[in-house]
Structures are given as structure tokens and as C-alpha cells.
Structure 1
């Protein structure tokens, strides 16, 4: 009854926890180690040394953001960022091995052994000089501010946490520790304004909710579907970076499901609905992402090329089959399908040329697993992308896309010695024998017709 009365009198926003401190004049909460449980030894040596050096020079400096959040959630951080009241030039003077980078907001990369620590100056509120686009997205912003202003500029309360490794204290301006304990992801400030300033925050909300098992606060979740089209205004390179973070979070499957639940995937993977609505496509993606999540949890490396190859494969197969049905030969049709799918995807995600090359190689090697005669299996074993292509083939088999017999044959071939391998080789098909005979004949004008379309169709382009 009391809650309903408050709701009627003060409106729906009064019924939710505040997104900013109730009494900002009171200052932040100072949470000791006995309460939060984080000790300085859990930080990297580079992060500790960076903060200690800045403090010794008379500046404020703290480990900030995702690293503090993850430590509280008992997750090992991937990297450590530092926030300080020192300007980039002052930070640069404190560290011999450092460099200033960035245009929108200058930061300093401090090199500590093999570590690179990102050091940012406290940011201030937007002003009349802040450059935005027609939708409110901030384009250029290089305003320095106070510690409190920097905390207010953070996106979510769980990201506005500052850890002092010298005093082993967490400085919490926006009740972030309490929100993390209550499994709530809450926006600092007005969600609509904050999403318009940077639409990537919507993707970050989905990723953090899935990774940390948080519920997105209703006030922060409500505008997402309406504002999702703003993601189209974000540079594809930024979207690609955010997708990599999502896929390498160790909870890729949950993140992808959360993206779909929030309606955010249309601007990133627009055909994801089509893939996931097909039993075989859904099974393939689930197997691939589950395998990726296991590798991340085990501390093993993952390949961005392999990840995107799995996400885009079903679209490629569908296009490949259509081209063959229209009369195209298998191998040329596959290469056309690969280019079309990657070109379409590039409109929303700026997949780098190197990663696109890795994706194509994984896809292009798939037909070669069907060639199990002559010298071709030996050559395939020596290919630099064999292991990735082999893992991809196993996923296809587990998803029911191809017969498991081909996987069993390759397992036996890889484990066998020289003579046993030769015994496993299949006799060449009749069409292959004819093509070999044609290649041996010399045309009347001299030379060879080894590069004819027939040879390409047989896989000789590899």
C-alpha cells in the first residue's frame, strides 16, 4: 500500500532506487577492505605501480571501472584502467615509457613491462562546446573535471567505482557496490540522454547483464527497443570492437541471447533471427559459442576470425546453395557467397581485412575435407589454417550439417603413421582421373590447360 501511494504521489521514478546520489553534498561512500574484500595483491603489478607513482607525485589516482567491478564479482579482470586528476601531459612526465593517444578524449598509455595501463584524466560534464550529431551522440569531448564529475560521467553505477590500492579503499559515488550486491544494472543519470550520447551503452548493458547475471533496471531497459536504431549511427569499427568484447566475455551465448531479447541484434547481426529459428543453425551457433566460452574460462586463446566464421556460416551456406541451384559450380559459388555475406556484414560491422581473410580461409577449406585421395589430404594437413578449419568441421558434424563419417576418417588419418595413412586414402573418382589425363595432354599451341574452369571446379585453385 505504501509503495502504491508513493507511486501515485511522486510518479514512477520515485518508486525506483535513485540513479544519482540522494545527497551529493555528502560525498562518496568510502568502503574499507574489511567490507569489500579486495586486497592490493589481486591487482597487476603494473596497475599498482602506476597508481603509486602518481600518488607519490602528489596526484589523485585510482584503479577504476570494469576492473573494480569484476574483482567485486570474483572475476579476474582482463586489464586495469587508472583515473587521475593529472592531465595527460602531467601523466606523461611521470612515466618515461608512456605516450598520449586519442582525439575525442586524450588518454595516456603507460608501459609497465609487458603491461599497458590506460590512464585517463577525470572528465567533466558536457558543455555548450561539446560536439554532437543530430541524434545527440557525442562526437568530440575533451573536457577535464573533478573526481565527482568523472563518476557522474560513467555509464552504469557498477562502473563508477574507484579503488585505491594504497589505502585498499573503494570510493563509491553512486551506490554501485550495493547495486552489484543486489544484482541490478542501473544507469547514472537519465537513460534516454545517456543512450543518445553514446548508443554503444545499450550494447554494453546487454553484455554486462549477461556476463554478471544482472537484471537491467526497468528505467534503463525501457528505452532500449525504441532507441536501438541509433546504433546505425555508430562507426562500424566501434561496433566491431564491442562485439569482440561480447563474444570474448566468457558468456557469449548468454550475451547473444540478451542482445536478441533487447532487440539490439538487428543493427549488428540482422540475420541472427533467421539462423536461430532454424534448428540446425541454432544448434551450430550454440555449439560454437559454448566452445568459445569454455576456452575463455580455461584461459585459452580464441580467434575472432573463427568466431565470426561460425556466426556468419549459415548465411553463407544458404547463399552457396542458391547459387549452385542456379547453375553455378560448387567452388566458384562458395567464393561468391563468401564475398556477398562479408560485404553485407561490413555495412554494420567493420570486420578488419585480416580477420575477413581468416574467415574466408576457414570457409574455403571446408570442401577440401571431402577430397580424400591422392596428395590432397597431406597438403591440407600442412595448411596454416588446418586446425581452425578442422575445429569448424567438427562443429558442422556435431550440428548435423555433415555426416560424422568424414570426421571419423580424418581423425584416423591424422593419428595414423605413413603406411596406415596411405591405406586410408580413397581411390580417385572417375571424373578426377579424366581431368588428370586432360592435364597431361598438351594443347596444339603448347602450354597446359591446368587452370581451366574444370580444374578450379575440382578444387585445384587451392
Structure 2
């Protein structure tokens, strides 16, 4: 436990030394914790189990932030948790978790994790790949072992509902005060267990404005290629957390600094310059700033707009290459470039088709927006992705001044037709619908019904 001197100041323990702060020694209050999380904590405790609030929820409360969600750990097994809560479902194969569902609010409950070297049984299963990556991991243990299994010291903080004490096992409180992100255990081993931890390090550094400690940062560049072994679907989810949470620009800079951008976006990386000041890089930075501003203003953002901006430089370059290599018309070279850019990217990051369809629309409209004579302007104004495309064009005009007149024309035309004066990104994250941002949706086709069958007809 931390030592308290005659002035009441608490001296925190060294890393690896358990430090316990009593209720009057830390700022966390039950009033800051969601009612649903408290219900889960109290019921587990009442049933005789240990129950702690852990990780990001505790960390954010200590930083004066409002937690996005609350995670709980306990010594109860997933099956025991399910018996306590009728609104519980068990999820995950690699990590067996309990989700206690309260409408749209889901409280995640995990059992204390143990060490991998424990003997495997039917209840305790752990396996690795040849590279050291954890494939399955359902080894249960004590709270001390669970703390060792956490990724960063600032996430190994536990709030007890039993006596309202705060438990720090690895000096996370000290690191928070120092503004450092420190990995628990040997960094190379931990990154090999799960290479996504390198992306989490970048995400937390950007989100919390923390610097990576020297030992935490040291192996990242060498181990960055391990991200190629991560399933593309998982990397898509990670990119949403990296770039659509309000810290996209800082995240972009950090990914480049630590050599993690190229494994995620290999074809885009070929366009980056040492000085970082090419027209495409300036455009990309403007798009990321725009995304951060929308998140800060609680406006919708979409993966489609992010990926349209990210891959636009590739599309422009390849379209020029195809034009130089053939006599195809510009529309055809654009289509070839679009297909190639998306097909190449989804080998690394599995962007769902509902988003790649919108990406294509935004790009195609860049070619159509200059052609606005006759009825074309009216038809384009009614396109479901018109406002996203105009927002995209406006960002392009900040780099290429020749487009400013075109942007102004469309803004004036839109206003004259009674439309919004401010273009918008297409739809909200993470699962946008075409109607959600005030866009027109395609009319549904009526199902054609055949003649009714007699009730006694065979199916």
C-alpha cells in the first residue's frame, strides 16, 4: 500500500508493488460510474465474488474525463456470471467474456486472467502461433496475475466496489502524473503476443496526450511488419478507433513516426515524402483535421469519407499512369484506378462493401461535379452522396486553388435550390445509414406478389 506522511500525502509504490489508496485518498466517486455498471458490480459482490472496475474507465475518471464505457473484472467464471444475470451473453473464442446487456448499454465482464504457462485443461486453454502470437487465451488467475496481463500500467488500475479503494499494481498512477505510457512486461514479448498492442500504444498516446516511454517505443519499428499477420477485419475495427475518435491528425503523425503507417496502408505510404509537405499530404492532413473538428462538434463522421481521402492520392496517381499507358478515356482510367486502389487496400484492411460503395461514389462525383450544364446540376444535387462529395471537393480546393470557383458555384446553386449551405460527410460512424444525415435514400422496390394460394395448398 502507498505510504502516507504526516501531511497526508500518499507516496505511490514502485512498479510491481501493489499500492492501495483508500476512499479518501483518490478522487473517484460512485456518482461518476454508470448505474448499470454499479448494478453489475454490486450483484457480483453480493454473490460472494470479487468485482472491480478496471482499465480505461478508472484511468479516464482519474484524468477528469468522462469514460466512454465501463469494464469490470471478477473472480467469477463466465458461466457463473451468466447464471447471475438473465440479460447476459457469453462472447469470444480467444478471450471468453460476459456481456451484460441493458438495452443499448453493454457492460463487459471478464474473469481474472492467469499466466500462459499454466497447465492447459478443458477450462483453461491457451495457444500461440509460431511467431509467439496468442491465438486462444482462457487461462484464469488472480487479480495480481490479471494486472500483469494488462497492456499498459495506466490500464492496470482497479476500483473496488467493496470498500471503494483504488488498487495500482504497476505504478500506473505515477505514469499518469508523469505523462508516460509504459508497457507492462517485456515490450518485444508483449508486442509479439498481440501486434495490435503497437496500435493501441499509438491510440492511447494520441488520445491521452501521453509520450511513449523509451522501452515501450524501442521495438515498434522492428516489429511493425507483424501487423501483416493480423486478420484484415480486425484491422478495420482498429482503424476506426485510431482515426474516427477525434485524434486522427495526432494519430497519423505518430503512426508515421513509429513506422506503423506503411504496414496498414502500403500503397499510400509510397506517396509520403520525408518533409511531409506534398500536395496530397497537405490534403490528407486537412481531411483529418476536418474529421477531428466534426467529432469535437458531435457531428457525424464515416469510414467512407476517411478512406476516400486516404486513398485519393493513390487514385489520382494511378489514373494518370493508366492515361499515359493507354488511350482510354478519363472515366475509364479513373474506374481502373479506383478498383485497383480498393482491391489492394482490402487485402490489408477489410473495408466492408457498404463503405467501399460510398467511397466509389465520392470519387466518381469528383469527375461529375465539373459537368454541371443543363439538367446535370439538378440530378447531381439529388445524389445521395452529393454533400459528402462537395465536402471532399472543398477540401481539395484548399490545396488546388483552381477548384475554388467550382466549389463556390455549387454552394451557391445548393443554396438557391433550398439545400444546406454547409456540406456534410455522408453518415454517422460506426454504422451509417443513408437517411441518418438527412440524405435521400433510394426508394424501395415493391415486392411483386403472386396469386394467393388456398390455405390447404402445399408449401
Distance 1:84 1:407, change over 3 A: same
State the number of aligned residues: 397
Deviation at 1:229, TM superposition (A): 1.6
Query: Which residue does 1:252 correspond to in 2?
Result: 248
**Does structure 2 conserve the Cα–Cα contact (< 8 Å) formed by 1:253 and 1:286?**
yes
**Partner of 1:211 in structure 2?**
207
User: Compared with structure 1, are the counterparts of its residues 379 and 107 closer, same or farther at alpha carbon in structure 2 (3 Å cutoff)?
Assistant: same
How far the C-alpha of 1:279 sits from its partner, in A, is 2.1
Note if contact 2:14-2:170 (Cα within 8 Å) is conserved in structure 1: yes
Match of 1:197 among 190, 193, 197: 193
Measure how far apart 1:18 and its partner are: 10
TM-superposition CA deviations, 1:297-335 (whole Å, max 9, x none): 223332111111111111111111222233221222212
> Residue 303 of structure 1 aligns with which residue?
302
Q: Do the aligned partners of residues 361 and 166 (structure 1) sit closer, same or farther apart at CA in structure 2, a change above 3 Å counting?
A: farther
In the alignment, what sits opposite 1:403? 403
Partner of 1:138: 134
Q: Secondary structure at the match of 1:370?
A: coil
Residue 235 of structure 2 corresponds to residue 239 of structure 1: yes
Take 1:355 and 1:65, find their aligned partners in 2: how far apart are those partners?
A: 32
TM-score, structure 1 as length reference? 0.81
2:292 is the alignment partner of 1:293: yes
How far, CA to CA, are the matches of 1:349 and 1:63 in structure 2?
Answer: 33
Whole-angstrom distance in 2 between the partners of 1:290 and 1:33: 41
CA distance in 1, matches of 2:200, 2:131: 19
Is the CA contact (8 Å cut-off) linking 1:97 and 1:110 kept in structure 2? yes
Map of 2:91 onto structure 1: 101
2:153 matched residue in structure 1: 157
What corresponds to 1:379 in structure 2?
A: 379
Secondary structure of the residue that 1:396 maps to in structure 2? helix
Are positions 1:179 and 2:175 aligned together? yes
Q: Contact 1:64–1:160 (CA<8 Å) still a contact in 2?
A: yes
Describe how 1:27-426 pairs up with structure 2 within 5 A: 28-127=18-117, 129=120, 130-164=126-160, 167-277=163-273, 279-325=278-324, 326-400=326-400, 402-417=402-417
- Displacement after TM superposition at 1:167 (Å): 4.1
Cα distance between partner residues in 1 of 2:268 and 2:358 = 21
Q: How far, CA to CA, are the matches of 1:346 and 1:276 in structure 2?
A: 20
- Contact 1:19/1:189 (CA < 8 Å) preserved in 2? no
Contact 2:112–2:143 at 8 Å: present in 1 too?
yes
In 2: Cα distance, 1:72 partner to 1:272 partner: 38
How far is the alpha carbon of 1:416 from its aligned partner?
0.8
In the TM superposition, what whole-angstrom CA distance separates every residue of 1:32-62 from its partner, at most 9, and x where no partner exists?
A: 4544322222222222222222222222222
List per-residue Cα deviations over 1:407-436 (Å, max 9, x = no partner): 100111011148xxxxxxxxxxxxxxxxxx
| Partner secondary structure for residue 89 of structure 2 | strand
Shift of 1:155: 0.7
Contact 2:13 2:19 in 1 (8 A): no
Quick one: distance in 2 between partners of 1:19 and 1:218? 18
Tell me how far apart the structure 1 counterparts of residues 24 and 411 of structure 2 sit (CA, whole Å). Answer: 54
Structure 1 unpaired stretches of 5+: 1-16, 419-462
Q: Secondary structure at the match of 1:75?
A: coil
Give SS of 1:63's match. strand
- CA offset digits 1:261-303 (Å, max 9, x no partner): 1111121012444444252111111111111112222233321
Structure number with greater Rg is 1
1:19 offset after TM fit, Å? 8.8
Moved more, 161-170 or 309-318: 161-170
**SS of residue paired to 2:301:** coil
| Matched-pair contact (CA < 8 Å) for 2:268–2:313 | no
Give 3-state SS (helix, strand or coil) of 2:266's partner: coil
Residues in 2 aligned to 1:164 and 1:334: alpha-carbon distance in whole angstroms: 58
Q: Superposition RMSD on alpha carbons, in Å?
A: 2.1
375 and 159 in structure 1: CA distance in 2 versus 1, 3 angstrom threshold: same
Structure 2 Cα separation of the partners of residues 69 and 229 of structure 1:
30
